[in-house]
Structure 1
Amino acid sequence: MALIRPTGKHRRPSRISRTTASAAGVAALTTTGVISGLAAPALAADASADHASTGLTQAIAINDTLADEIDAQAAAQKQAANDAAAQKKAEEAARQKAAEQKRKAEAAAKEKAEAKAKKEAEAKAAKEAKERARERAARDAERKRLNAYVAPVAGSYVSTSYKAGGGMWSSGSHTGIDFHAASGTSVQAVGAGTVVEAGWGGAYGNNIVIKMNDGTYTQYGHLSSISVTVGQAVTPGQQIGLSGSTGNSSGPHLHFEARTGAEYGSDIDPLAYLRSHGVSV
């Protein structure tokens, strides 16, 4: 026996349909005598009682409430699913945003570190280049200094010229030039070289002979004292002794010679020699 009409596979009957079907079912039961036989005393006792007193309407109302609860539950479940999906989507978006921010931060940090490293490398290279330039300048200056020539007595002048004649010289002429210098005046090497003679030189008195780096020789005579030794390297302007009047000398002065060899007789014009090396005398 069917009390309500069949519904679709996925469609529950509406409240109106359910109510109508329930009323129709009650009418059918009454027509067949089922309800009449079962509830005759009640119907006979009160023929005017409406169907509400039979409890059928109450049952229908209870069924509607249950259906509403089911609908509410379904809606709540759907809403919960939607909320969960939205939350999951928001969390994924937040995760992606955080990952992107992290990536950007790491990229920025890497770029900053690379820029810093590049700047430090450039600064280091510049410093090294500056240091190399300074060292090169120092070497050039030292090379220039070592290649430079100076007068044997600073601030002096030539008192006796080269090849001057007279009986004072065994060769009949002056083999060098004399620089005016009081006794004890500093005598300096005219250029860089190595001492090959330092001591008594006969007519030259206390004398020093230096082999210059260019292969020529210079001699310093009549010294009152000597402050270098044989084999010692000397530089331009270095003090090698003090002027005096030792040996064959008429008074304090410095006898200076320029030679092509270490021995007497290889002399060349000392004034021209000094001037050829940039010395103003």
Structure 2
Amino acid sequence: MAFTRATGKHRRPSRIQRRTARAAGVAALATTGVVGAVAAPAFAAEPAAEQTGLTPVVTMGDTVAQKIDAQAVAQKQAAEEAIAKKKAEEAARERAAEAAKEAKERAEKVREAKERAAREAERKRLNTFVSPISGSYVSTGYKSGGAVWSSGSHTGVDFHASSGTAVHSVGMGEVVEAGWGGSYGNQVVIKMNDGTYTQYGHLSSSSVSVGQKVTPGQQIGLSGATGNVTGPHLHFEARTGPEYGSDIDPVAYLRSHGVNV
């Protein structure tokens, strides 16, 4: 059974029908290849864009592109900021490492300077000479003559001292004798660092032993009146060797090492 439109005045096609027809026409023109030559005038007579539905599609595409571009720009900026941050952090670490290195070098230099100063102070201390009895004086000089000495003259000097006065090593050295020494009584003989020898006689007691290292000013015994003496005092000799008869002027010896006697 077929349906026919009533005769008489016809109604205008609906909007949906018109759009459908236009879409079909566009498709037909596209397949024939005459869109550029023939369809242009036809498109000029087409209804407004809001009726075709084409413009919203294009507008949507532009918006997406803009969002993609904005996202790309943001990602690039974030990457550049990350690179800059990394470089800044690396630079900060390098500066910190350099500062730590410089601080370490300064501390090392300070430590070395202190060690050098300490070594120099110790060297000076060890090379310092002192008087064998503090605050004393020479009561009998070197080479004084008389029958008291078997050699006919004094081979050392006597320092005034009462019994029990502290006797000190005049410098750094090693004890080579400590004990009874005949006419010298109780004695101590020290080989000094410069190869000379010093002797301390007539002691009431000694406080060091053979082989012991001694330093300048170290107490090695107490003065007394042992051996061939007429009273308490300290007999002090300086020698070039350990043997008797190798004596040298004790006052000149001490003065040559900076001792004021």
The answer on 1:209 being equivalent to 2:189 is: yes
Equivalent position of 1:263 in the other structure: 243
State the shift of 1:68 in Å: 5.2
> Map of 1:129-278 to 2, 5 A cutoff?
129-278=109-258
Cα distance in 1 for partners of 2:156, 2:141 equals 7
Flag the 1:208–1:78 CA change in 2: closer, same or farther, 3 A: same
TM-score, normalised on structure 1?
0.77
| Alignment partners' CA distance in 2, 1:71 and 1:190 | 123
Aligned to 2:10: 54
Matches within 5 A, 1:68-107: 73-107=53-87
Q: Give the whole-Å Cα distance in 2 for the aligned partners of 1:217 and 1:163.
A: 18
CA radius of gyration, larger in:
1
Task: Check whether the contact 2:240–2:246 (CA below 8 A) recurs between aligned residues.
Answer: yes
Q: Return the alpha-carbon distance in structure 1 between the equivalents of residues 196 and 7 of structure 2.
A: 159
TM-fit CA distance, 1:204: 0.6
Change (3 A) 1:259 1:42: closer
**Separation in 1 of the partners of 2:70 and 2:106?**
53
Look up the equivalent residue of 2:225 and give its one-letter code: S
Output one character per residue of 1:5-59: Cα deviation in whole Å (capped at 9) or x when no partner. Answer: xxxxxxxxxxxxxxxxxxxxxxxxxxxxxxxxx99x945xxxxxxxxx311xx21
CA distance in 2, matches of 1:135, 1:111: 36
The answer for the alignment partner of 2:92 in structure 1 is 112
Q: Tell me, yes or no, if the aligned pair for 2:19 and 2:52 is still in contact at 8 Å.
A: no
1: distance between equivalents of 2:204 and 2:169?
16
Identity rate, percent: 57
Quick one: distance in 2 between partners of 1:142 and 1:85? 84
State the secondary structure of the residue aligned to 2:175: strand
Deviation of the 1:73 alpha carbon: 2.8
Give the aligned partner of residue 31 of structure 2.
Answer: none
The 3-state SS of whatever aligns with 2:229 is coil
Deviation at 1:165, TM superposition (A): 1.6
Work out the CA distance in 2 between the residues paired with 1:145 and 1:279: 13
The 2-side partners of 1:162 and 1:96 are apart by 99
8 A contact 2:49–2:55 mirrored in 1 = no
2:179 corresponds to which letter in structure 1? G
The letter for the 2-side match of 1:231 is G
CA distance in 2, matches of 1:176, 1:159: 11
Deviation at 1:206, TM superposition (A): 0.3
* Bigger mean CA offset, 149-158 vs 66-75: 66-75
Distance in 2 separating the partners of 1:77 and 1:142: 96
Q: In structure 2, list runs of 5 or more residues that go unmatched.
A: 21-46
- Segments of 5+ residues of structure 1 without an aligned counterpart are 1-37, 44-52
In structure 1, the residue matched to 2:108 is 128
Partner Cα distance (1:226, 1:278) in 2: 26
Supply the distance in 1 between the matched residues of 2:165 and 2:53 (Cα, whole angstroms): 122
